[in-house]
Amino acid sequence: MFRSVLFCLCLSPLGLFAQTDATALAKEKACLGCHSIDQHTMSVPSYQKIAEKYRGDPTAVEYLSEKIRNGGKGVWGGGGRSLMPAFLNLSQSEIRLLVDWILSMKETPAQ
């Protein structure tokens, strides 16, 4: 029992570092220029809404990674007016860090 608790305590800072790294990367690559953690619009989803939509979807990591890599439009409504640009300058590990961070977001509280 003690080992399990100690093991969890030792690993918890790793999750915090990954979250900090993902937040810094999202700021550096201007992701937060359009997206917000919790402010959803009809054409630009918040990260919490993205997490809610894809929670439990076994293809979510691959799908969202592809969206970040190649961009897209019209997934969240808005008549296709909002364009998600391609981020070809991100490595696969950076994309995975962002996707894991986004999918780890907690649900938006009911309004």
Question: In this predicted model, what pLDDT tens digit does every residue of 44-67 receive, in sequence order?
Answer: 899 999 999 999 999 999 999 999
Judge whether 26 and 98 are in contact, CB under 8 Å: yes
Residue extents of the structural domains in the chain: 2-103
- What is the C-alpha to C-alpha distance for residues 60 and 27, in angstroms, rounded to an integer? 22
Q: What pLDDT, on the 0 to 100 scale, is given for residue 94?
A: 95
Tokens of 79: 């008549």
**CA 2 from chain center: how many Å?**
34
Which position has the token pair 């894809």? 54
Q: What is the mean pLDDT of residues 78-102?
A: 89
pLDDT at 3 over 60: no
Task: Give the DSSP H/E element, type plus range, for residue 73.
Answer: strand 72-73
Q: Classify domain 2-103 by CATH number.
A: 1.10.760.10
Average pLDDT of 15-31? Answer: 78
5-15 pLDDT tens trace: 333 434 444 44
**Confidence band for 18, pLDDT divided at 50, 70 and 90:** low
